Chain A
Amino acid sequence: MKGAGTRESAVVLLPAFALQLLCKSRDWWGAPVALVAEASPDAPLLAITREARRAGLRPGLRQGPARNLVPGLRTGVVRHEDREAVLGELVAALQTFSPRVARWAPAHPSGEGAEGSFRLDPTGLGGLYGGERNWAETVHRYLRGRGFRATVGVGFHAASLHAAALAAGRPVQVSASEEAEREAAADVQLRALGVPERLCAPLERLGVMTLGELLALPHGELTQRFGAEASALHDAYAAPGSPGARGGQLPLQPAELVAPRRIAEELDPPSAHLDRLLFAAKRGLDPLLAELSEAGETARSLLVELQLESASGAGEPRELVLEPAEATLDAGTWLELLRLKLARLALPRPVERLVLEAEAAPAEGTQLEVASGEAPPRDVAAAGRALARLRASLGADAVLAPTVASAHLPEARSRWRPTREVKRPGEVAAEGPVPLQRRFLRPRAVGNARDGGPRLPGSEGAVVLRGPQRVSGGWWGFAPPDDERGDAREVGRDYYYAETASGGLHLVYYDVARDRWFTQGAVD
């Protein structure tokens, strides 16, 4: 039971989180750096480092002029997914210091802009770490070790602690008393709290610059004039007992402890035999897939870790990734893919432990078409499964699909690209009728020098050439000519249909730059 007056809140603040990430990922610490939302020269600087500020830059300035002013300025974008990935990792890491961790920023009731700010429950942890300050310092050391600049605060009320920690700007901030915490919080500028500009600016016009001044406004009148957002902000920081106050003690909504869908099977004695490995996998797969099914999920991919027997005792892992055509809970499909993978694998030592880790995906309603009797005559799913087996057997890039491209050169018009899915015929874009040709993937040389003509199979006699059609271009891939007469290395081809004495019809071209003849294919 938590008593009044106990320090039951903790916050971790990573100021300018995205900028920190940028500097960290590019090793730009100590340089003038600015975070931008996009690469456009008109994009405003969202956050800048101290060095950039010293050089005279300010957030809000556009990237183009800023780079003009400070030629050494480095700018970069941090993608949302990258930020989210790191934030997710940080939550998981902080969960090792407190079981209850949430991403949280009281100045953003709507939840926006909460990145880099965490609320933790430190209850009882002081005893483990030799005091709350020690706990906070440990957390701070950890974050510093990961290359982050952070403030860790421990205090009484999460919201006021958050503000007080911001104001203090020290690595570790432990509130001496509730009153001191509130006083420190009251002096914090609304802007420093990260209150959105749309709310901050009109409040500043009224002379309401600090949290204390905001809290002094009558709650009802504030709500009437500035709406729900201002009301929520007021509520978040208001002292317990005041109108609308949540006392900064909103129940913490901790991030779920995500245990990986993972299961391990021991092989005793260790074995490299395929069947034994598959049986072991089957033993693990059944409960793993059942667990997913119970959670309304399915498996998108499966990581199979084979820990090999080792004299040192620490198994040497080998990892296999299984990816079916579509997410499935069918153990047979997974085992078939695993069998194909294992069959290609030469294991130096027996496997002593097998770990299965599933990547889950929400289960969707399937087979509706079958239920309605409107299933298409071609079973695309089956084709997908077959391809998945091929990939598992021959490698991830083993399955290629032809794609049509807009290009003048015949060999550039169709390309083979790795694919994971099978499309119905109607889904493939076509560009008009394709001449009936047997086309070579790469042109084949069939003669030197223009005058010599092409030497084609069965062309002991004269070859009749019809054409030419001329294809030239690609100049931009080469250095421009000094005399503006065309670069000899540009593509320049004269295409002909060549009729041989034996009646064969070939598509040939004379390559101007190489002074050679090539054949591109034949007409059936």
Chain B
Amino acid sequence: MSKSDDWVPLWCKSHYSFREGASSPEELVGRAAERGFRALALTDRVGLYGMVRAHVAAKAAGLKLLHGAELAMLPSSAASREVPLGPAPIAASEAARVVVLARNARGYAGLCRVLTAAHARGDKGEAWTHPEDLDALAGDAFVLATSTEGLARLRPVMPRESLRALVARQRAPGEAPAERALRALAADAGVDCVAGREVLYHQRARRPLQDVLTCVRHGVPLTAAGRLLRPNDEHDLLDPGAFRSLFEDDPRAVARTAEIADACDFDLGALRYVYPSERLPAGESEESWLRHLAFRGAARRYPEGLPDDVRAQLERELAVIEDLAYGGYFLTMHEIVEHCAAEGILAQGRGSAANSAVCFCLGITAIDPVRMDLLFERFLSRERAEPPDIDLDIEHERREEVIQHVYARYGRRHSAMVANAIRYRPRSAVREVGKVLGLTATDLDGLARLVRHRDDALDASVLRDAGLDPAAPVHRHLLRLSGMLLDTPRHLGIHPGGFLLGHLPVDELVPVEPATMEGRTVIQWDKYDVEALGLFKVDLLGLGALTCIRKAFGLIEEAGGPALSIATVPQEDPETYAMCSRGDTVGVFQIESRAQMAMLPRMKPRTFYDLVIEVAIVRPGPIQGDMVHPYLRRRHGEEPVVVPHPKLAEVLAKTLGVPIFQEQVMKLAVVAAGYTPGEADQLRRDMAAWRSQGKIEQHRERMLRRMVDGGIPADFAERVFSQIRGFGEYGFPESHAASFALLAYVTSWLKCHHPAAFTCALLNAQPMGFYSPATIIEAAKRRRVDVLPIDVRRSGWESTLEATGPGDGPRAVRIGLGMVKGFGVQERDAMASWEQPMEGLEDLVRRSGFDEGALLALAEAGALEGFGVNRRDALWRLRGLVRAKGDALALGDTSQLSFPSLGEEEAVLWDYRASGHSTRGHPLGRFRAALEAQRMPDARRLNALEDGARVRFVGQVICRQRPQTASGVNFYTLEDETGLVNLVLWKQVAARHRTVAKTAVFLGVAGRIQRAHGVVHLVAERLFAGSEVLETAPAAQSRGLVETARELGRRSRDFH
């Protein structure tokens, strides 16, 4: 198709005009290129959200991209008001809309500022512009008025050279008189008219999706949408010839679009971005100061003298950093880490930064890359010249302090958080489209439950499973449209911790919006956009494990132990590895999951590097790539370490010939498949990109062919490729695994040597990790940690360590009041004013500041038993005391009534109900005799049974999992008072016992023991309700057992 030089679409909205545009920026650009346009303007509604993607696509397609946005002007009647009226407009009749196109860099920066100001005026998702805002853009931008109201209001503030009347023809009813009026006003004002079309999709087939989006935006079904919908499908990227015909009466207006395109001379790639300079001591440059800090840190890291290889590595890295002028970024990260250290906030770098000796010496990371033989080039290289990406983990409870420190240090205009576009996922897509099509909520709910995962295809069989007719037109529309809606952006969220910092104000690079969370601002681009433009991002992420470690260190020191840090925890401790090898890792960072626990006895880690592999190997990537079993067999000497080809030997040496880490996969691509470094880097990007399966597949044929041609066996090549595909979403680089392994080791060491402090810290860091507080406490009790119940006289808000005898003897964990269900900020603040311990019920009612609900909750939790009153009596008396609290006379409890104390099994269940755990026992402990009478073993005995033994078992379900990698197999974790049992539930068995499998609190299983390499699984053949067995026990005669047990059903953490 020949290039058309007479029409440039100047008003195009992509799906980043949330819930309005129905095509992606890439689709619009692609279509424009295909149809022979030489330029296209992206003008999303009140934002530049899709601009980077359009920029990248336009570069690839050789299309000129004009940068703009559609703005909504505050209605003239409300122009003086600060508060906008109602939601942002969508239809021409609702507000005066103008399209702004940047002519040059100043115009682009000005547009960003205008958009930032517009968003600052409205609530989240709304943005309103004053005509006066646009005044500053004169000469640097074109402003296109789409209506007479817009033109009339812009005429006094904009010079006519910058102002145009945009005559858009969509063949809509009422369009002709509006155009006549606009043309008349333009002629009167001496403003030129330009021809246009409001483009909402790249092709007409997207019209149904656009209708659906309109309905979603307005919250109405299609049948009631009426004129909220566009009257026709004339919002596509019309063929140039057809457009010329549309405007055959005014070819000059068409030609002016090209003149505007010619006059616009701005390219996003030419953005002038300067990283903010740090405050430097006199006479120092960024480079010299970074060098100074790096070597000063090195002296601390290597007190016995800096090894030559480390020195050489530092020199090499500093040279690269200097060449690339990245020193400022490292100084920023160093400053943040120093701030954390000064404030007692634990922080540690993760990801590829752990490949850097400079980061290690600056204290940003805790892994010695030289000793670990990690590849610096994975982090930074002259060839790639990409900004470094340092992710800093910060203890999660104090991350906000660090975020606010960054805002304060760099200023609001120079720092903003990176966005995260929230996209439609399978469930939300089905729900939204279904609602619009008028399906009932119940039908939709049933359907949505069947498409839990991204890979759950929504097709006719799923509709049938949900009891819907796949042939019905409405359901066929549902399939088609929810597929179209999937992955399109819904609204702007905020990245968990990504910051964009700029020497120049950030709001001149990209519009900034107020975030929903108070005190935060967010840019309109996500991390991929930031990365694509080579901007620097600082990632401040929250990590519960660091909170736990910091609290454990503090508790140990308070109890008279040593002052510890991550760096000073004794290394390579055999006892710690022995504990890990037993799979005794409840609460340990990264290696506490059911799958990890099952792997540890097979792996038997004995060195830190074993832990690095352990962390990385139980991931979908290696599992899907079928790398796990070969590695274990080789580790145990059950098969020889054979490398498929001699040239791979070096790449795979550390992992016994089996690729496990992302870096190895990259190196394999280079060594085995002849990838250039550039191709390998693209492979890494394609692996890392979210939902990158399509991109990864593009490498398949090339890699397999090249590997086989290079002498690599086809099956090995296939396995390597499978792993690459798996890495797409869940792969670990070695440096990242090493950073996590370090925390895994530290938490293991704490659990092994300071179990009380570890348990206490872990409880105080909740919510985090894999297990509930109840399981953590049960695990601690099995390690002979004394756990004391909540006692209002002794407990603090958090759990504490309490001496169990005189001196520095063993310490017990005293559970804190914060564990009582329903307790929150109000109770915590009230407790802060307690100066003396509570002395009795009356004192508590008078002084605690707790309301009746909180007081009764304390009584139920057994926290008042220290006053010598049983829980029921306490409940009765508290109700009386609370009523009498307002009386002028002194409180007095005159009731002579007394209620029976709770039985032991009741007390345990009450504990669970009131605080989610019990220090007094496990709910199943009281039923042991009854279970044994039916020849059912406890978990400890079950785990000692021989392979193949048949057994019946009852346990409390604490976790249900159905990993995507397990082909529908369910894995449950059952618990009793002696330990955990791993249950394997094949698909057919789960289906046969569906109700009991999904609802039973106490699950009964009849099955067979499967034992291999010290790992025991109970493979279910039949399930039954454990409560049926328990109810036959004498203990079950206690009142309320069944009801309470039912409430406990919420304890299980289900990951379906």
Contacts and interface: CB of A to CB of B under 8 A. Distances in A.
B880 A39 contact: no
B996 A39 contact: no
B229 A64 contact: no
Interface in A465-488: 467-473, 475-480, 484-486
The dominant DSSP class at the B interface is: helix
Contacts of A407: 226-227
A184 B728 CA distance: 69
B371 interface: no
B232 interface: yes
A470 B480 contact: no
Contacts of A476: 208, 211, 222-223, 437, 473-474, 477
Nearest to B859: A205
A479 B472 CA distance: 8
Interface in B693-724: none
B205 A204 contact: no
Contacts of B234: 470
Nearest to A223: B883
Given A64-B445, A473-B211, A224 B883 contact: yes
B173 A480 contact: no
B876 A470 contact: no
Interface string B885-929: 000000000010101100000000000000000000000000000
Interface string A57-101: 110010111011111000100000000000000000000000000
B288 to A, nearest CB: 62
A225 interface: yes
Contacts of A480: 208, 473, 476-477, 480
Contacts of B442: 39-41, 63-64, 67, 75
Nearest to A56: B995
Contacts of B1021: none
B204 interface: yes
B477 A408 contact: no
Nearest to A497: B176
A209 B1039 contact: yes
Contact of A471 (B211, B232, B476, B994): B232
Interface string B169-199: 0011101100000000000000000000000
Nearest to A472: B232
B876 A471 contact: no
Interface residues of A, number: 51
Contact of A56 (B211, B226, B480, B996): B996
Contacts, number: 133
Contact of A406 (B176, B204, B226): B226
Contacts of B446: 41, 64, 67-68
A129 interface: no
Contact of B1039 (A71, A207, A221, A484): A207
B534 interface: no
A405 B1046 CA distance: 52
B875 A469 contact: no
B1034 interface: no
A221 B211 contact: no
Interface in A1-47: 39-41
B398 interface: no
A477 B476 CA distance: 11
B83 interface: no
A484 B897 CA distance: 77
Contact of B208 (A470, A475, A494): A475
A473 B999 contact: no
B328 to A, nearest CB: 51
Contacts of A475: 207-208, 211, 477
Contact of B473 (A69, A206, A218, A478): A478
B171 A39 contact: no
Contacts of B847: none
Nearest to B999: A56
Interface in B750-772: none
B467 interface: yes
A202 interface: yes
A204 B1040 contact: yes
Contacts of A69: 994-995, 998-999
Contacts of B883: 224-225
Contacts of B393: none
Nearest to B872: A206
Contacts of A224: 879-880, 883
Contact of B171 (A218, A470, A478): A470
B233 interface: yes
A216 to B, nearest CB: 9
B910 to A, nearest CB: 8
A349 B1025 CA distance: 72
A144 B437 CA distance: 44
A237 interface: no
A475 B226 CA distance: 13
B875 A206 contact: yes
Contacts of B786: none
B875 A205 contact: yes
A76 to B, nearest CB: 11
Contacts of B226: 405-408
A202 B175 CA distance: 68
A202 B205 CA distance: 61
A176 interface: no
B537 to A, nearest CB: 39
A484 B716 CA distance: 42
Contacts of B441: 39-41
A64 B443 CA distance: 9
Contact of B860 (A205, A468, A473, A494): A205
Given A209-B1039, A226-B879, A486-B204, A70 B173 contact: no
A221 B881 CA distance: 11
A217 interface: yes
B568 interface: no
Top 9 A-B residue pairs of the complex, sorted by shortest distance between their CB atoms: A406-B226, A41-B445, A56-B995, A225-B879, A470-B171, A479-B473, A484-B205, A470-B232, A64-B445
14 contacts: A57-B995, A67-B442, A70-B995, A205-B875, A207-B900, A207-B1039, A221-B880, A472-B231, A473-B207, A473-B232, A476-B208, A476-B211, A476-B474, A486-B205
Given A218-B897, A405-B226, A473-B207, 20 more contacts: A39-B440, A64-B446, A67-B446, A69-B998, A69-B999, A75-B442, A204-B1039, A204-B1040, A207-B872, A207-B900, A225-B879, A468-B171, A470-B172, A470-B231, A471-B231, A475-B208, A476-B211, A476-B222, A484-B205, A494-B171
Interface of B: 171-173, 175-176, 204-205, 207-208, 211, 222-223, 226-229, 231-234, 437, 440-442, 444-446, 449, 467, 473-474, 476-477, 480, 856, 860, 872, 875-876, 879-880, 883, 895, 897, 899-900, 994-996, 998-999, 1025, 1039-1040, 1043, 1046
